[in-house]
Structure 1
Amino acid sequence: MYIDEVEKAVTSLIQELHHYDITCEIEGHNLYSSKPKVHLLTHLPNDLQIFGTALHYETEKGEQFNKHIHEHLMHTNRLNTSRDICFKFAKQSAMRHIIDGGSWVSKDKMREKYGNSTAEFLKENFNDNVKNTLFGGSRDFADNNNTDDITAKALCDNTFVVFMLKESRDQHAHPFIGKVSSLRVEHYRVESSLHAQVNNYLLMQRVSNDASTPLDQLKIVCKLDMHTEFNNKLVINLSKFGSYWFFVSLFSN
């Protein structure tokens, strides 16, 4: 059913793009419907059947590495960008090797390591700015499953999220899945089945029409970016979050 919905969505999008192309009056307009990426969308339903959910082969995280390249690009003269950026990454790699206790061969062909004065300097001055600038420190990718505070990043209505209470007297309080609706969160109950276990998804139903919690009393565990309705139940794909049993155990009493 999900693949059929994807195929309908792709067909509808291409039809709308084609209609815009033939009615667009902008001079020199390049046809959207003839672009390679639009054609590739027609293969998506078949790819889903062969490879599973597109979350398995998304390129979002790889694309986000461009921002780290851009940081270095801003400090070059743009005459030989590939070489300059390569040198920058190589220097950062060498710095990490040294600071991790690695050695190198000097001009006198002697193996050396950094001394006590360098260690003391780094101990006194090491911070995130130094780490990122000199060593290319690891930084998390910001994606659709970040755990930003709700107050800092608003959630749209009808978004499904795994929540936990910010403050709770119950030391064994468990996460729950909820749907955002007008600054409140509706509670959903997780159901288990053998078929769901094999196919790595969860079925959920609304607990009751009255069960809800104010949004500002909750914190995000993770966002659920795919849901669909089937037989009055919600189907949540768990491929992005790991195994079925791990996710089910999160909600067990």
Structure 2
Amino acid sequence: MNRRDFIENAAIISAAAVLVPGLLGEQLAQAQTVDAYALPPLPYAYDALEPHIDKMTMEIHHSKHHAAYVNNLNKALEKYPELKKQSPQDLVRKQGTMPDAIHSAVRDHGGGHVNHTFFWTIMGPNAGGDPGGEIAAAITAEYGDIAKFREEFGKFAAGRFGSGWAWLVYSDRELKLTSTANQDSPLSYGQTPILGIDVWEHAYYLKYQNRRADYIGAWWNVVNWDAVNKIYVTASK
């Protein structure tokens, strides 16, 4: 296994740990957040998703926007060192129990950190195409065929008013489509993300301007279905 493959596989495992309870990786994540949360490295180069997502967008999105969520989450928790012992996914899951002074920060910045960590992982170079494995069978069983699924998913992504995300989630032992506003995470609603697209303008405006539908269409070319399948298999056990 070369270094790039190692990084990509580690990122997939980390995303599953971020989103699926009970994994050893989650315990490791908790051990690494005693002092502060950190921006995870992108598992591929900034230009790796060209021509579908441009290099400048990826660099700004990761090194500026995602980094800001991490930094602001750390600042919000400065007076709550005991909470930094929790993984970011646990913070987001339990946001309803957070002190009033930081509830919004955990929802916005914690959600932004978790959502983006997941987002980078389910994309990749030399990706796209149709899914395989258990996720393909599950999507076909729920939506009839892959084309119909893409159409329905696209409606959630295009129809999200303002900023937010569209998601395929695993909940109550089945797949469901949903969308969330801003940086709200499905984790806060007891759902496990399996696939998600960021439809904030900063995710696509440099290349696609106001053509969100074009961005959504191009995004399918960078979906890493192998990663999505691994996350689904872990979630559905």
Shorter-chain TM-score bucket reads under 0.3
Instruction: Give the TM-score normalised by the residue count of structure 2.
Output: 0.23
The structure with more strand, counted as a fraction of residues: 1
TM-score with structure 1 setting the length: 0.22
Q: Which has the higher contact order (CA 8 A, sep 6+)?
A: 2
- Report the structure, 1 or 2, having the larger helix content: 2
